[in-house]
Amino acid sequence: MENAVTQSSLGNIARSIHEGGLSKLTVLGIESTSHTFGVGVVRLSSGAPEILVNEFSRYVPEKGGIHPRDASNYHAKEAPKVLYRALSKAGVKLSEVSAIAIALGPGLGPCLRVGATVARFLSSYYSKPLIPVNHAVAHIEIGKLLNNLRDPLVIYVSGGNTLIAVQRRKRYRIVGETLDISLGNLLDTFAREIGLAPPYVVNGVHQVDACANWGEDFIDLPYTVKGNDLSFSGLLTAALKKARGAKGERELGNVCLSLRETAFNMLVEVSERALVLAAKSEVLLTGGVAANQVLNDKLKSMASLHGAKFYTVPADYAGDNGAMIAWNGLLHYVHGVIVRPEEAFIRQRWRLDEVDAPWLPED
Amino acid sequence: MASGGLVELTQGAEAKIYRTVFLGIPAVVKLRISKPYRHPEYDRVFKYKRTFIEARVMAHLRSLGVRAPSVLYVDPDAGLIVMEYIDGCRLSECLSEMPVGRVAEIALDIGRQTSIMHANSIYHGDLTLANTLMSSKDEVYIIDFGLSGYSRDVEEYAIDVHLLDRSVELLYSELKNAFMDGFWKGYSINASANFVEKLKDKVRDVRLRGRYVEERLRRRVSKDRYA
């Protein structure tokens, strides 16, 4: 790989492979922070990382939003199946795996516990090192790996997170974030409350996007940017009020269109300010909402204004998945970050900027 | 309009900045630009609102003795403000070269000016080191009022302090304590001790509001247990 970040990490990895007398390094990663139970396997041999498999099963609520207990029951049922599928597809036996990586947070407690239990069991039963992984860091690193990036401005948007980050002094630093609900939560809650969802996404198109196509006119909605931070809760309340008073598809469409326009513009505005301040030449959009085409177009157009290149992550790797946990686990592992199974506690709140990222370059 | 030529200084995130001479006064032209990613109707309203509030707040602050550049000309429809040119550097760029004592003095002056602003129901909305200038005459200026506004809500003032605190932490984490101590000392010159306490509490609230702050979880748990 041409990537300097990965290059230096790979140097270390190659050394540890050599010193450990190993011919290759295989890490199995488990993700269960929210609606997805995922298992991924990443292998490193002769210096190039390869994603062997990325299997997952996604909990879709019949009504309402994600119920943590229902989701965790779902994970408990799915876990053995997904694990089995992943291992057989990858053609890897558990005994051949070098280490187990687990997303210990941030996320929903009951869901996290399922993945953690599976990972702690595998680690102790097969005597494999256990690697604690932060879900947000994993989202960023998989995007960097797939796009071969060195030092991007990161825009991470999902159902649980909305933040803008840059790497500095071997950590990801949060430049701006939401002060209340996330962008994904805003769109999902709105769609649910006006009766369009679930299902939230149909044929890859979010219900709010589908509804926005019915509208033409712009309505004024609260636009809340505080420095580089965002607030979406007032926007949600105002949009719901307007939507409940709307007559017919056209008027509802106007609300959807305006809601999307306002929310995305807020995010693009703070991203633009962060891009100028941090003077980066790469912009990376990751997380579940990265699949949204309208947001992609806006950010791409913004990045090109400042001569920066815009990158996004393919849907299977942008949403929650096990491969990203495996890859980030591998980066941690070669820098000696492991945890004893009896101390691998879940962390429902584990901020991105609390995690040491020893594989990042000096600055 | 301008009696001198236009020289482009920088392109910020939101506006282009030019240097010129306006009616014989060295001046800066701030021109908000349309963005291709915005709905055109939205873009128009946006530019108008930001330009209008920025000019209004700057003129008001000037009359209160806060060091903001004087407004010389404004055209909200065009997204244009012409203001006095301040020769100097942004604190985000030149703070690191100063001794700690000097940093504390500067922070004190920012605190003093911020408290005057807040006492007159004005919040800045983007108070960071990048939006504070050190002039060549050694005076601290506050600039960039596009996100500012009028409010009596302590929350808005707390956000100003929070943003400043975080920008110091991000750029010069080693100077943070000296800076914030100086800031509060300056803030307390005109504000009552009571108000300063209230504001400090609110700043803490705002900080804990970020995603996944562990302290918040603990606080809530203990509250639930003992309430």
Q: Taking 70 as the threshold, does the pLDDT of residue B214 lie above it?
A: no
Calpha distance A205→A201 (Å, rounded): 5
Amino acid at A28: L
Same domain (yes/no): B144, B196? yes
Q: B130 in contact with A at a CB cutoff of 8 Å?
A: yes
Is residue B25 in a domain? yes
Residue with tokens 């516990």: A113
Closest-CA residue of B relative to A272 is B13
The fraction of chain B above a pLDDT of 90, given in percent, is 70
| Residues of chain A contacting B142 with CB distance shorter than 8 Å | none
B102-133 pLDDT, tens digit per residue, is 999 999 999 999 999 999 999 999 999 989 99
A50-66 pLDDT, tens digit per residue, is 999 999 999 988 888 89
Looking up residue B204, the CATH number of its domain turns out to be 1.10.510.10
Q: Which of residues 182-201 of A touch B (CB under 8 A)?
A: 182
- Give CA separation, A87 vs A97, A291, A306, B82, in Å: 10, 27, 44, 66
Is residue B111 in a domain? yes
In this predicted structure, what is the pLDDT of residue A20? Answer: 54
A307 torsion bin: left (phi>0), alpha (psi -120 to 50), beta (else): left
- Give chain B's mean pLDDT: 89
In this predicted structure, what is the pLDDT of residue B224? Answer: 46
Q: Which listed residue (B75, B77, B109, B126) is catalytic?
A: B126
A255-277 pLDDT, tens digit per residue, is 999 999 999 999 999 999 899 88
- Mean pLDDT in residue range B4-26: 86
Same domain (yes/no): B99, B62? no
Peptide bond into A198 cis (omega under 30): yes
Q: What is the pTM of this model?
A: 0.86
In this predicted structure, what is the pLDDT of residue A17? Answer: 52
CB A162 within 8 A of CB A177: yes
A92-147 pLDDT, tens digit per residue, is 999 999 999 999 989 999 999 999 999 999 999 999 999 999 999 999 999 999 99
* Angle at the Cα of B12 from the Cα atoms of A220 and A217, rounded to 5 degrees: 20
The token pair that represents B210 in the structure block: 């970020």
Which of B52, B84, B116 delimits the end of a domain? B84
- Give chain A's mean pLDDT: 90
Architecture of the domain defined by A153-279: 2-Layer Sandwich (3.30)
B138 noted as active-site residue = no
- Mean pLDDT in residue range A80-87: 97
| CA–CA min distance B63, chain A (Å) | 25
Per-residue pLDDT band for B182 (boundaries 50, 70, 90) equals very high
Give A361's DSSP letter: P
Q: Taking 80 as the threshold, does the pLDDT of residue A241 lie above it?
A: yes
Q: Residue A283: what are its φ and ψ, rounded to 5°?
A: -125, 130
Q: Taking 80 as the threshold, does the pLDDT of residue B217 lie above it?
A: no
Q: Taking 80 as the threshold, does the pLDDT of residue B210 lie above it?
A: no
Which of B29, B56, B84 delimits the end of a domain? B84
Same domain (yes/no): B31, B107? no
Which of B84, B119, B149 delimits the end of a domain? B84
Out of A78-82, B170-174, B197-201, which region has the weakest mean confidence (pLDDT)? B170-174
Give B83's DSSP letter: E
Q: Taking 70 as the threshold, does the pLDDT of residue A156 lie above it?
A: yes
Could you write out the DSSP letters of every residue in A95-137?
Answer: GG-SEEEEEEESS-HHHHHHHHHHHHHHHHHTT--EEEEEHHH
Overall fold of domain A4-142+317-354: Nucleotidyltransferase; domain 5 (3.30.420)
Q: Taking 70 as the threshold, does the pLDDT of residue A9 lie above it?
A: no
Amino acid at B198: K
Q: How many residues does chain A have?
A: 363
Owning domain of residue B97: 88-217
Q: In sequence order, which ranges of A194-280 are alpha helices (DSSP H)?
A: 207-212, 233-244, 248-278
Same domain (yes/no): B44, B93? no
- Give CA separation, B151 vs A56, A167, A238, A259, B46, in Å: 49, 35, 20, 25, 20
**E strands within A32-168?**
36-45, 48-58, 99-105, 130-134, 153-157, 162-168
| Residues of chain B contacting A348 with CB distance shorter than 8 Å | 212, 217
User: Do A106 and B212 make contact, defined as CB atoms within 8 angstroms?
Assistant: yes
